[in-house]
Amino acid sequence: MNFLPAALAAYADAHTSPESDLLRQLNRNTHAHVLRPRMLSGHVQGRLLSMFSWMIRPRRVLEIGTYTGYSALCLAEGLTDDGLLITLDNNEELEDFARSYWQQSPLGSKIDFRLGQAADVIPTLTDTFDLVFIDADKLNYALYFDLVIDKVRPGGFLLADNVLWSGKVVEPVKPSDKETRAVLDFNQKIQDDPRVENVLLPIRDGLFVIRKL
């Protein structure tokens, strides 16, 4: 995930607005108590998600992949006064962990957690979304995009995380490496889709910024 030299990454971190105390605690406790803490968005990417949210001022946000709830809090920061963020995850074991932090935030009432398989839940959603963040299982990225694109308003945005996949997207792909192949196929799918325009940012593990035309 770390493409920049450590000194430059530290410099970028030092020149990014700090996390709130609650986010810092959530970040620390995720690393201390939860498996695969690298899945957490973290300080710089979290502030970027917050910045996008403040720029867009969404009324409805959909997050596909909740993990420990860090990115949901970041994305909720820019919601309108009547805004709502719906976040989907199939890991019930982390639900209480995430909720315990949302409950400590004034934004917690704007976060609606839905437990289940995203592919089953997305078709049931009737909202029109201003912003979508895809950060779940890579094998289904293309499916999630197809399921949600018609629910995004024209001019709305989708963000997709981990699209550089630890640099594996520019390395030879082993036949058994289905996740890397799925990421490559998703990236090409977005590049070829005439309904959107897109830029791939080499931030952390790669962040696709996609605007629906």
**Separation CA 97–CA 92 (nearest Å):** 10
What does pTM read for this prediction?
0.97
Asked if the structure places residue 1 within a domain, the reply is no
Nearest one of 197, 199, 201, 193 to 212, comparing CA atoms:
197
How far apart, in Å, do the first and last CA atoms of the chain sit?
Answer: 30
Contact 177, 185 (CB under 8 A): no
- The three-point CA angle 27-178-91 to 5° equals 40
Q: Are strands 152-161 and 207-212 parallel, antiparallel or unpaired?
A: antiparallel
Q: For each of the chain's 213 residues, which pLDDT tens digit applies?
A: 777 899 999 999 999 999 999 999 999 999 999 999 989 999 999 999 999 999 999 999 999 999 999 999 999 999 999 999 999 999 999 999 999 999 999 999 999 999 999 999 999 999 999 999 999 999 999 999 999 999 999 999 999 999 999 999 999 999 999 999 999 999 999 999 999 999 999 999 999 999 999
Residue recorded with tokens 């982390």: 94
Asked if the structure places residue 71 within a domain, the reply is yes
**Separation CA 90–CA 99 (nearest Å):** 15
64 CB neighbour count, 10 Å cutoff: 27
Which pLDDT belongs to residue 196?
A: 98
CATH number, domain containing residue 47: 3.40.50.150
Asked if the structure places residue 73 within a domain, the reply is yes
Asked if the structure places residue 100 within a domain, the reply is yes
Domain that holds residue 18: 6-212
Residue recorded with tokens 């935030």: 105
Asked if the structure places residue 91 within a domain, the reply is yes
Contact 63, 71 (CB under 8 A): yes
Which pLDDT belongs to residue 3?
A: 79
Which pLDDT belongs to residue 206?
A: 96
- How many domains would you assign to the chain? 1
Q: Which two tokens stand for residue 127?
A: 């909202």
Asked if the structure places residue 37 within a domain, the reply is yes
Q: Buried b vs exposed e over 167-201: b needs ≥16 C-beta within 10 Å?
A: ebeeeeeeeeeeebbbbbebbeebeebeebeeebe
Which pLDDT belongs to residue 2?
A: 75
Q: Which two tokens stand for residue 2?
A: 């770390």
Asked if the structure places residue 185 within a domain, the reply is yes
